[in-house]
Amino acid sequence: MPKNQNTFSSLAALRRRIASRAVHAGWRWMQQAGAVTAQHPGRLRFGAIGEGTRLAFPQGTVFGEHWIRLGAHCIIAEQVTLTAGMMPDLDLGADPVLVLGNGVVLGRGSHVIADARIAIGDDTFCGPGVYITSTNHSYDDPHEPVGRQWPRSAPVEIGPGCWLGTGAVILPGAKLGRNVVVAAGAVVRGEVPDHAVVAGAPARVVRRWEPETGWQPPLRTPAPVPIPDGMTPEQLRGLALLAEAEQSP
């Protein structure tokens, strides 16, 4: 290859590296600057936003913020939709419509659509793409397009400590108890008792914990070993390396 062609190739590669680094640095800056917190709410004026709560940038669709209350130390990932009311600029009254407790996590691309009240309890975690809605389409009139028929709404309540897997759907009127596990892709309606695991579409209880009998059916994996008090991260990493060494041939 001629010398001048090598030079041009090297210059093109250098320009590409510089441009790539600039783009990534700029994006990281935008992620930091565009995040929403109580101290830096940007254009959003929530009814309440607790200490340590952060909405990652870029945000999804957000409207009706005056009727949305976010607890402390919530993590709202990128492209999460949070809406109160059927459309922006409605007067929804004095009471909040969408309430997140403390420590709630909403995974990337999740949607919480609150036309009627939605309440999510403390320390509930949602995987990516979870859809929670208090309004559903009606299809009573067979001669009218479904999208043109007036929807039906019913409050949704999700208890504290729940886990909603990737792609789970929570429909209007659902009421989940404490520490409920919703399997990925499950579609939940109606009431779910405390300490239950639900799966399927429509979701049904596939496992439940009772004080007298424990988990039924029994868990197929051993119970996790609690971390001893006072254990440091360095000691935990050392134990992990020791376990890997013992398992290797």
Residue numbers annotated as active site: 137
Query: Alpha-carbon torsion 156, 134, 181, 60, what sign?
Result: negative
Residue type for position 215:
W
Name the DSSP class of 137: -
Mapping DSSP to helix (H, G, I), strand (E, B) and coil, where does residue 11 land? helix
Annotate 189-213 with DSSP letters as a single string.
-SEE-TTEEEETTTTEEEEEEETTT
Name the DSSP class of 153: E
Find out whether 80 and 109 touch, Cβ atoms under 8 Å: yes
Q: How far apart are CA 246 and CA 165, in angstroms?
A: 33
Q: How far apart are CA 217 and CA 208, in angstroms?
A: 7
Q: How far apart are CA 214 and CA 208, in angstroms?
A: 8
Find out whether 129 and 147 touch, Cβ atoms under 8 Å: no
Residue type for position 103:
G
Q: How far apart are CA 234 and CA 164, in angstroms?
A: 31
